[in-house]
Amino acid sequence: MSTLAPKGLAWVTVRQFRRTLWAAAALVALALAGTVALRVWDARTPDRWVDGSWVRGDDNLAYEVLRLAMEYAAVYLLLLVPVAGAFVAGPLVAREFETGTYRLSLTQSVAPAAWLRAKVLTAGVAAVVTTLALMGVFRIGWSRVSGTYPFAWGDRGPYEAGGVVLLAYVVAAVGVGTLVGLLVRRTLLAMAATGLVMGVVLMVLGALRWSFMPVLTVTGPVGPTLETPGNALTMRTGMTTRSGGRMDDAVCWDRAAAAVPDDGWMPSDEAWNNTWNKAYDSCLTDHGVTGQYLDYHPYSHYWPTQLIESGILLAVAAVALLAAFRVLRARLP
């Protein structure tokens, strides 16, 4: 066991932040206990077999509590990214320069690069291990609610926690936090800056990830609902026109809704339906609508998208760490 224990600068870093490490371990243990307790509670109200499928009981309060807990857990898992980066940028790096305590380590015949390398590796290992543990806990609860809204494989939270990309985000946060901490050298300012940067990275890549691979398209005539392969992620729907273009189907919906007088008619009234349908069909004719389309990503795109996004994040981490060591070399040759 002694061969696994940290030594030298890594041991110093672990000792310096042992309370933080114990807090991370306590968080994992608390999350595991809570999730297991909810799953046990949920199991006490078994599902019912109805029309060839299992349906949860209407009186299963535990299931609803578990769903709510998993929704919050998905948000908290994403918050690990800016939190990890902020911790590395502030308490781990910037505070050393703000207080001048880094000089003590450098007086012990330790090269600046070795000093920073020990801190980065220790923080990176701790962040990755903690994230892996929390991802495992999330999977315990998610396996019960998966496939329902908002727990499909492409939803925010389950997408990150179900693959490897969340680990890549954490590694990128460590790299960016190290660079920002060296550049800013003020604890609170470095934490805020890193949290902001990683928050932007989360939003940007979250908005772009489903453009990494081309969508598949299903087309059909106006009227029947288009169907995709099971477990697909729907991206866009709309109308196709004679010119080969696309049109948002909301255009004709809005036109039909505007044609119906707001005088107490109900959708169940025949006159209401006739007026609405006439306006809708007229809109389709005016725009030359010939059919409808649906763009989607099949589940087979999940892992390629994960790997592409993870590759981008690891590249960001590598560039940030390379820049950090160059900055360190320039300031502490």
* 122-163 tens-digit pLDDT: 999 999 999 999 999 999 999 888 878 888 899 999 999 989
Note whether 292 and 238 are within 8 A (CB): yes
User: What percent of the chain clears pLDDT 90, i.e. is strictly above it?
Assistant: 56
Q: How crowded is residue 310: how many other Cβ atoms within 10 Å of its Cβ? A: 19
Q: How far apart are CA 333 and CA 321, in angstroms?
A: 17
Tens digits of per-residue pLDDT, 177-223?
999 999 999 999 999 999 999 999 999 999 999 999 999 999 999 88
Report helix, strand or coil for 239: strand
Note whether 166 and 198 are within 8 A (CB): no
Report helix, strand or coil for 240: strand
Side by side, the strands of the sheet bearing 233-241 are: 216-220, 289-297, 233-241, 246-247
Place of tokens 């996004």: 309
Tens digits of per-residue pLDDT, 105-126?
667 767 888 889 988 999 999 9
User: What percent of the chain clears pLDDT 70, i.e. is strictly above it?
Assistant: 89
Q: Which residue has the higher pLDDT, 13 or 130?
A: 130
Identify the pLDDT of residue 48.
Answer: 60
Global pTM reads 0.87
Residue 11 pLDDT level (bands cut at 50, 70, 90):
confident
Two structure tokens written together for 78:
């994403």
DSSP 177-212: HHHHHHHH--HHHHHHHHHHHHHHHHHHHHHHGGGS
Residue 1 pLDDT level (bands cut at 50, 70, 90):
very low
User: Does the N-terminal peptide bond of residue 214 adopt cis geometry, omega within 30 degrees of 0?
Assistant: no
